[in-house]
Amino acid sequence: MTVHPFIEAEKQAGHSVKRACELMKVSRTAFYARRSGLPGPRAVRDAELTKQIVEVHAKSRGTYGAPRVHAVLMREGAGCGRRRVARLMQAAGLQGRHRRRRHLTTIPDPRAAFRPDLIVRDFQPDRTGLDARWCGDITYIPTEEGWLYLATVIDIASRRVVGWATADHLRTELVADALTAACRQRRPTRPVIFHSDRGCQYTSQQFAALATQFRVRLSVGRTGQCWDNALAESFFSTIKRELLDTSAWPSRAAARTAITATELLKYKLSWTTACTNELRCSASEILQLACVNCENVNYPALGQGPSSSRPASCPEWATAVSSTYASP
């Protein structure tokens, strides 16, 4: 605790500075040096970091907390600790988004047929394995009209949302529409594994028949194990924190419009939000994730899948390569 503000108050009140310094056991020289001196190197550095933190926080639309802001600063070359970032964010009145209380959407069917887990928590990105493994899940959005439910289909290889659907119910038609949208958009040329939880929508006979029609092999995780579908859970955590929980939605149509317009469903995931192991990507993972924006989705003819090659002139890919090999 510093005593200089007390001495300053005594001085403003017309009392003796000498007597106040003697009582507080500090020298008058130190008091006047602090009173009239320039900010120290640490204070100057704190001001610079605060400015950078405010910019990063604003770019994230007010969603990033101290860990993710610290990760961005470290990637930009700003040497600082996470606790220092947390202290400066608190002093500036900044904080990240927090999740609301969870609403139950996974209702298992005890009579459902057994299906194996073909993913086994292997959600590593693979730029050569597009349209080979998908995963999906259902989440909820509260509106003034009632719940709006969102079902997604994500390509594990590229982190792209390749299909999605919304509805005001939790019937099988919701997940069936999402899978149909994914198959019609991507048009895979080989059987695809689709991984989900054991919700009754995904284990129903109707969904199994649709999967057979599209040559999709169904895979399910264990009951009560969210880590078995970690990629889908991570995506929902991000979109809720950065979009769906940022405001109250007056209607289902308003929420649906916001979801349609969000960049997360336009396949423009940043490196920080794209990786399931957030903030701890290795150099090889960054190389694999860096170019999700320019993954080719050109379909020259019906039945031909997307090309896995990337244009050599892609600036994001070149930046990722150069920054990765330049790192120690």
Reported as a single tens digit per residue, the pLDDT across 294-314 is 343 332 232 333 333 333 334
Residue of 118, 116, 99, 163 whose CA lies nearest to 137: 163
- What is the mean predicted confidence (pLDDT) over 175-204? 90
H-type alpha helices, the chain: 4-12, 17-24, 28-36, 41-59, 66-75, 82-92, 172-186, 205-213, 230-239, 252-261, 271-274, 283-289, 315-326
> Predicted confidence band at 121 (pLDDT cuts at 50, 70, 90)?
confident
> Predicted confidence band at 273 (pLDDT cuts at 50, 70, 90)?
very low
170 vs 147: CA distance, rounded Å: 10
Asked if residue 320 has pLDDT above 90, the reply is no
At 109 the pLDDT is 60
Relative orientation angle of helices 82-92 and 41-59, to the nearest 10 degrees: 80
Q: Looking up tokens 């090999």, which residue turns up?
A: 325
Q: Are 291 and 310 in contact (CB under 8 A)?
A: yes
When the pLDDT of each residue in the chain is averaged and rounded to a whole number, the result is 75
Query: Ranked by mean pLDDT, which of 10-14, 41-45, 133-137 comes out on top?
Result: 133-137
313 or 211: which leads in pLDDT: 211
Domain locations in the chain? 4-36, 41-92, 133-294
191 vs 118: CA distance, rounded Å: 13
Range from 69-78, 108-117, 125-134, 269-278 carrying the lowest mean pLDDT: 269-278
CA atoms within 13 A of residue 280's CA, in its CB half-sphere: 2
- What is the mean predicted confidence (pLDDT) over 206-230? 87
Query: What 8-state DSSP symbol labels residue 153?
Result: E
> Phi and psi for 20 in degrees, rounded to 5?
-65, -40
At 7 the pLDDT is 79
At 43 the pLDDT is 85
Strands 133-143 and 216-220: unpaired
Q: Which CATH class is domain 133-294?
A: alpha beta
Residue of 64, 55, 54 whose CA lies nearest to 270: 64
> Predicted confidence band at 124 (pLDDT cuts at 50, 70, 90)?
confident
Asked if residue 11 has pLDDT above 60, the reply is yes
CA angle (277, 281, 283) in 5-degree steps:
155
At 112 the pLDDT is 63
> Predicted confidence band at 169 (pLDDT cuts at 50, 70, 90)?
very high
